[in-house]
Each structure stands twice: as structure tokens, then as C-alpha cells.
């Protein structure tokens, strides 16, 4: 399966995987900064963005295999860096656990693969017939509750609306599998970085148990916590995340 890909830059290859109900645009504030140092390939995963649709009940192993095939097609030879956000974080980890030395370094932002955190007060996505104002109000509410600790602007809503309209797969069963990230970390051979926003709504009341879990699973893992940052941390605190990613990936 050929996935929709945005590529730019020069240097060692770096592949980016977005979060759930997302697309390439989850890296809107990071792509250009990273492309100054790497050849960056941002992928729309199967069932998201402009990539082909897949069955909603596709077995987990088959879905991961599709993504691994896309990674191998994107970087046919040698090693590469890999980064993933949220749902894309746990998918990245599942791929890295199986791909061995092909993945040189792995950077994860607010990754899935933990037990469910606090129940969030999210609004149901309205029907299109209810009008654009109702839709945008609901999306703005959900962004503030789950995704962003910083300002939710018209740009933020535009990005999320484009993603909601093109999402055809639900990856929450990956993200909400307790211990899945820790299991992957124990199987990896690459260096790993995890970046969290301290105010990540999916980790409340505190991110510390998740920090402890990844450190117990992998000796020497790098953990960066950004004060005041939300779940969509590479958008919420783009300058800090870009700096931390480049420090690690270089």
C-alpha cells in the first residue's frame, strides 16, 4: 500500500508518524525546522489523511505490517530515524521493536500504549448538517480539553477539522493497551526519547507513572518533560520540541 507522503530537506532520513484522528498536519509546526537538518518524510498512515482506507476491523499485526512496508518503501536501504506522536508513537514503537537496526533512533511525543487515564469531557462530533459554526465550536472544545494546553486558534481548528473529515480508522485500541509501549521498549535495540507535556490531559492527574514505566522498561531512555505543555506537545510547544528532537536525533 502506497501512503501519502510529504518529503523535504537534506541529510539522514527521518520519518514522522502522526497521531489518531490526525494526518501529516500534526507536524505543521515541526516539519520545516526538522527538514533543515534531515530528509524528512511525513506519512499519512492507513485510513488517515490522503492515504488509502483500510478495514476498520483490520487485525493489529496486519496494520503494523502495512506501516512497516511503507517505512521500508520510504527508506529502502540503510538506517533511519523515526518519530511518532500519540497513536503514531505506539505504532512507531511497534515497528521499531520489529525492525531492529533499521531504526537508528526513535523519538516519541505523548505516546500511546498505556492504561486509560482520566475520562475527558469531550463533545460528540456534530453532523455536517448542523452547520460549520456548531462543528467548529465542538472541535475547539475538544482541542482545549484533550489536545492543547496553549491557545486554540482558528488555525488549530482548521487543522483539526481537516483531520476529522478524513479519518477512517480508529486506533484507540492500540493506544489504550496497558503495558504495550513498555513491552516494545524491552525489545528495541535503538536509542529512544520520549517527550511529554507536563499538562498532557491523557496522563492526568500526573505523568509520573508513565515516566516511571518507560524508565523501568528501558535503561538509559531519554525523557523530556515540557512544563505547561499539553498532549499535542509538538504543536503546543513547537520551539522546545524541535530543539529537543534535534538534540536527540543528531
Percent of the chain with pLDDT over 70: 100
Q: What is the pLDDT of residues 40-83, one digit of tens each?
A: 999 999 999 999 999 999 999 999 999 999 999 999 999 999 99
**Contact partners, residue 59, CB within 8 Å, separation at least 6:** none
| Ordered structural domains, the chain, with CATH | 5-117+170-249 (3.40.50.1820)
With 90 as the cut, is the pLDDT of residue 128 above it? no
Give the phi and the psi of residue 26 in degrees, each rounded to 5.
Answer: -60, -15
Q: What's the pLDDT tens digit per position in 147-169?
A: 999 999 999 999 999 999 999 99
What pLDDT shows up at residue 118?
A: 83
Mean pLDDT score across all residues of the chain: 97
- Give yes or no for residue 183 having a pLDDT over 90: yes
Query: How far is the C-alpha of 101 from the C-alpha of 187, rounded, in Å?
Result: 12
CA-CA distances (angstroms) from residue 48 to 19, 32, 41, 113, 170?
10, 21, 16, 20, 9
Average pLDDT over residues 179-188: 98
For 204, list phi and psi in degrees, rounded to 5.
-75, 150
pTM over 0.85: yes
- Banded pLDDT at 117 (limits 50, 70, 90): confident
Q: H or E element: which one contains 119?
A: none
Query: Which cell goes with 140?
Result: 475547539
Which residue has cell 538509559? 220
pLDDT at 33 over 90: yes
State mean pLDDT over 108-127.
94
Tell me the H-state helices in 100-237: 132-142, 154-166, 172-175, 180-187, 208-217, 233-236
Amino acid at each position: 500500500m502506497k501512503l501519502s507522503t510529504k518529503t523535504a530537506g537534506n541529510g539522514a532520513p527521518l520519518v514522522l508518524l502522526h497521531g489518531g484522528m490526525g494526518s501529516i498536519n500534526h507536524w505543521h509546526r515541526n516539519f520545516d525546522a526538522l527538514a533543515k537538518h534531515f530528509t524528512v518524510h511525513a506519512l499519512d498512515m492507513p485510513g488517515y489523511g490522503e492515504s488509502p482506507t483500510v478495514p476498520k476491523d483490520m487485525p493489529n499485526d496486519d496494520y503494523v505490517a502495512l506501516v512497516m512496508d511503507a517505512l521500508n518503501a520510504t527508506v529502502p536501504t540503510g538506517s533511519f530515524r523515526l518519530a511518532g506522536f500519540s497513536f503514531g508513537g505506539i505504532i512507531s514503537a511497534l515497528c521499531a521493536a520489529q525492525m531492529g537496526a533499521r531504526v537508528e533512533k526513535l523519538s516519541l511525543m505523548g505516546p500511546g500504549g498505556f492504561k486509560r487515564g482520566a475520562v475527558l469531557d469531550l463533545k460528540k462530533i456534530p453532523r455536517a448538517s448542523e452547520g460549520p459554526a456548531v462543528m467548529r465550536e465542538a472541535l475547539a472544545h475538544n482541542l482545549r480539553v484533550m489536545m492543547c494546553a496553549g491557545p486554540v486558534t482558528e488555525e488549530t481548528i482548521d487543522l483539526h477539522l481537516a483531520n476529522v473529515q478524513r479519518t477512517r480508522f480508529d486506533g484507540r485500541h492500540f493506544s489504550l493497551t496497558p503495558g504495550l509501549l513498555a513491552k516494545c521498549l524491552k525489545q528495541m535495540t535503538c536509542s529512544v526519547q520520549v517527550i511529554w507535556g507536563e499538562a498532557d490531559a491523557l496522563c492526568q492527574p500526573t505523568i509520573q507513572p508513565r515516566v516511571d514505566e518507560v524508565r523501568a522498561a528501558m535503561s538509559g531512555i531519554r525523557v523530556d518533560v515540557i512544563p505547561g505543555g499539553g498532549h499535542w506537545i509538538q504543536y503546543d510547544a513547537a520551539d522546545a520540541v524541535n530543539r529537543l528532537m534535534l538534540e536527540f536525533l543528531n
